[in-house]
Amino acid sequence: MANTVEVEKDLLELRKQIFITGYKGGMAHLASCYSSLEMIYALYQKGILRYDPQNPKWNDRDRFVLSKGHAGLALYAVLCRAGLIKESAYASYLQENAEIGGEPCMRDCAWVEATTGSLGHGLSMGLGIAMALKMNHSPAKVYVMLGDGECQEGTVWEAVMTAPGFGVDNLVAILDSNRIQKMDFVDKTIGETRWKEKWESFGWDVKEVDGHDVEAFCDVMKQDLVKGKPRLVIAHTIKGKGVSIMENNPNWHFRLPGRKELKVFKEELGISDSELE
């Protein structure tokens, strides 16, 4: 129980940090950050990713590619919490002489494995990395997080079709299935998604989990991979998780709160006036 309480405290602090940083910067994809936060936190803080804090380019490190790059503030917040980037670098977001932007960039941070933000390319990059690692006989794995709205991009399906043919059983795709894209719910845009059936039909091993349950997510991610098959983990999430007026609301894909809405964020995230100055 104590560990669960500590995790919940960490996640609340991270949501608070993401909001304050985005608010001061003047723009942020808050809702997308909040749907993916527990999973990114688990990857770096709960022993899923193998990495050396002193050597970001260790050859046999596991790689994480945030294909849904607009959630970059969540990734950078977790990297900061893990002691991999400085707090001053995180706080510089969209400030003068900023060290990071809103989307992951290899030029800005040694811990970023792929520059993303233009949706649809992360899985293809992750596939290429996974193939190279297998050629080098490395034990490292590659984890790629996509959004379900992003899965309307054709390049995603090129990688989905290709990966099983190369037997990349060191590749794990994580689908942040929050059911909302930029303008509306995903199923209202493209109809019934049936992600599990579609990915399985191309030869992927597919698991499903509650993406906000850190323990359950860790259990699934630490399961042995199937020999010769890439894996997809469908993580069911809530876009805007943690702030009532954002949850499951398509209007919050890319905006900051107005004066009245700000009161809700401050109350539910425990933010003081002085912290926003």
Contact 145, 66 (CB under 8 A): yes
Closest CA to 248 of 181, 149, 148: 181
Query: Could you report the per-residue pLDDT of 24-49, keeping only the tens digit for each?
Result: 999 999 999 999 999 999 999 999 99
Query: Could you report the per-residue pLDDT of 224-255, keeping only the tens digit for each?
Result: 999 999 999 999 999 999 999 999 999 999 99
The C-alpha atoms of residue 249 and residue 238 are separated, in whole angstroms, by 9
Total domain count, the chain? 1
Q: Rounded to the nearest 5°, which phi and psi values hold at 56?
A: -65, -20
Contact 47, 96 (CB under 8 A): no
The C-alpha atoms of residue 115 and residue 96 are separated, in whole angstroms, by 21
Tokens of 273: 């006036």
Q: Coil, strand or helix: which one is 71? A: helix
Contact 202, 160 (CB under 8 A): yes
| Sign of the torsion angle spanned by Cα atoms 34, 32, 100, 121 | positive
pLDDT in tens, the chain (277 residues): 458 899 999 999 999 999 999 999 999 999 999 999 999 999 999 999 999 999 999 999 999 999 999 999 999 999 999 999 999 999 999 999 999 998 999 999 999 999 999 999 999 999 999 999 999 999 999 999 999 999 999 999 999 999 999 999 999 999 999 999 998 999 999 988 999 999 999 999 999 999 999 999 999 999 999 999 999 999 999 999 999 999 999 999 999 999 999 999 999 999 999 999 8
Report the 10 Å Cβ neighbour count for 55: 10
Q: Coil, strand or helix: which one is 167? A: coil
CATH number at residue 255: 3.40.50.970
The C-alpha atoms of residue 156 and residue 275 are separated, in whole angstroms, by 40
Report the 10 Å Cβ neighbour count for 236: 17
Q: Whole domain around residue 160: which residue ranges?
A: 2-276
Record the pTM.
Answer: 0.97
